[in-house]
Structure 1
Amino acid sequence: MAKKSRAASFVAWLPQAALLGLARALPVRPRLALASWLTRTVVTAVPSLRARVEGNLRLIFPDMDAAERRRVRDGMADSFGRTMIEVMTRRDFQRRHDWTSPTGPGWEALRAARAAGKGAFLVSGHFGQWEAVRAALMAEGIEAGAMIRPVKNPYLDRDYLACVEAGGKPVVGRDGGGLRELIRHVRDGGVMAVLLDQYTKRGVEIDFLGQPAPSGTMIADLARKYDLPMIPVYGTRAPDGLRVIVEFEAAIPPGTAEEMTQAAANSLATRVRATPEQYFWLHRRWVKTF
């Protein structure tokens, strides 16, 4: 990165670092309230962000009225703000244990795979408190790695990576090197958590919430190739905004990679329809126009 670009990144990072420092100094409830307020304020005040949420909601829920869209937008901002500050204060989040013990048929499938010395893929989306899943697993003595996309600002990215790694390793990127490390990890019996609800330019078009969504099938391909379970799992934030309910759904039945990816999308879509305010509607998930 050019010197000028790094300088600009550093200047942009300073107010972010100050806000993080303030949040980290606060007790947990004021910290979460600050993160919620700040995210709701930004999403409401920035026209491009507000338009993106509106565009996605109109696309998926064309009959939703304006008042309900505002409610969903505010709920999404609240949930996302809380989630991100919990990620950026990971060690404190881990100590608080603000989640339920894992339940559901997929939890038994994961334990069975580990007992057999096999790895597993945990698949989810940007819904609720997705990082609570790895926190709950760590509390059970299971370390799960994660696949992430880096933050554009290198100074913030360094902090973010350290916080994600505190929840379990390896943390890999979506490039070739990250893919090779992921494969080594699951082949050696490791667990990897992957969020599948991201726009993939050269992906296969699957249906997500009634609209075509270009999606990668790499995780399903690897699950098939190495005979590993692919288990949908979610951390749904409770109404108090603090506790998280961790639920493992049944492992996705074997099929083609496209069929398995579609099944994962269907699982997530059911969760989103039930509590749309917990989904990250700022994603350009379907089209790149909003």
Structure 2
Amino acid sequence: MSSTTLRSVLHFARYLPLWSALTVFRWRAFDVRSRSLGTTFGLILRWFPPARRRFDREAKRIFPNLKSLQRARLGQEMGRQMGRTLFEIYHDDEFQTQHHKFKVSGPGLKAIADANAVGRGAIVVSGHFGQWEAIRAVLKMNGLESGAVYRPNKNSHYERRVLAGIEAGGKPILATGQVGTRALVRHLRNGGIISILLDEKYAEGVRLPFLGADALTSLSAAQLALKYDLPMIPAYGIRLDDGNTFSVVFEAPIPFTDSATMTRAFNDSLSERILKNPEQWYWLLRRWDDGAKP
């Protein structure tokens, strides 16, 4: 067996439990299947030691006074939320059609539409919070298709299926890296809309406060906004209490200043959302390194 074949087999073996969880009970209603996967992920975050330790490390950094039981419950609820989010992304072609689930507010949507009307691009910034694909679903239902930037996964089986889901939300889908960056610039200069999740650690970034602790942060979104005179708009798909509907908020465009100030404004915006609903943020990103203490 060649090394390539062996690697593919190993990747499939790792992907199989997730694939099974995502596809089981296909005959059941969408929301029932979503809730079932959420329950499964919640139990994993509560009782699977590696996941629990990883969550605890990050949560303790921001909530040092949270008691162990409270932290365990927060981790379980985060797992439940993220399980549902992953299911919806995996089945994004179906999720995108459920317009009745989206309650839209905020001035940013009009700002995007106004820019689009004159052939100007726009940059939508969000994070791994709530259901970020709800943002692109709302844009699409308003005739404003948005591409997205994503980080490819090393597991080819997972990568293929999740990429297909993301593409259902709008194109182009651009991988991180030099080739993707060039395509991103072309798309924006041609009047396109792009959505970027800006809450991952970026090794070449600058340290900016995020949830009260310095974190290495990319300035690229703000740099592009300034260079090409594009609105940079924070947006969030906040899951409501019933678990099935979303408050999709498009905030006002971030004022043009400099790239660090604009990016810090986004960090502050996302931090405020997370502190209101900490269970809706994906705490397993390793957002902070050892040198970024609260």
Q: Structures share a fold, TM > 0.5?
A: yes
Which of 236, 249, 255 pairs up with 2:257? 255
Deviation at 1:71, TM superposition (A): 2.7
How far does the alpha carbon of each residue in 1:166-211 deviate from its partner, in whole angstroms, 9 at most, with x for none? 1000001111111111111111111000000000112100000110
What amino acid maps onto 1:68 in structure 2? Q
Preserved CA contact (<8 Å) 1:99 1:246: no
Secondary structure at the residue paired with 1:252?
A: coil
Mapped to 2, the partners of 1:15 and 1:127 lie a distance apart of: 24
Alignment root-mean-square deviation, CA? 1.6
Which of 3, 6, 11 pairs up with 1:4? 6
Residue aligning to 2:230: 228
Secondary structure at the residue paired with 2:105?
A: coil
Mapped to 1, the partners of 2:97 and 2:170 lie a distance apart of: 14
1:53-92 matched pairs, under 5 angstroms: 53-92=55-94
Deviation at 1:38, TM superposition (A): 1.3
The sequence identity of aligned pairs, in percent, is: 39
- Gap runs ≥5 in structure 1: none
Residue aligning to 2:32: 30
TM (norm. structure 2) is 0.94
List structure 1 segments (4+ residues) > 4 angstroms apart after TM superposition: none
Which of 205, 208, 215 pairs up with 1:213? 215
Mapped to 2, the partners of 1:33 and 1:116 lie a distance apart of: 42
TM (norm. structure 1) is 0.95
Residue aligning to 2:135: 133
Deviation at 1:98, TM superposition (A): 4.6
Residue aligning to 1:282: 284
Secondary structure at the residue paired with 1:241?
A: coil
Secondary structure at the residue paired with 2:128?
A: coil
Mapped to 2, the partners of 1:229 and 1:130 lie a distance apart of: 19
- Gap runs ≥5 in structure 2: none
Mapped to 2, the partners of 1:183 and 1:105 lie a distance apart of: 25
Residue aligning to 2:21: 19
Deviation at 1:22, TM superposition (A): 1.0
Residue aligning to 2:109: 107
Mapped to 2, the partners of 1:109 and 1:23 lie a distance apart of: 41
How far does the alpha carbon of each residue in 1:12-46 deviate from its partner, in whole angstroms, 9 at most, with x for none? 33333333221544312320121111111221222
Deviation at 1:151, TM superposition (A): 2.1
Mapped to 1, the partners of 2:15 and 2:50 lie a distance apart of: 21
Mapped to 2, the partners of 1:31 and 1:23 lie a distance apart of: 7
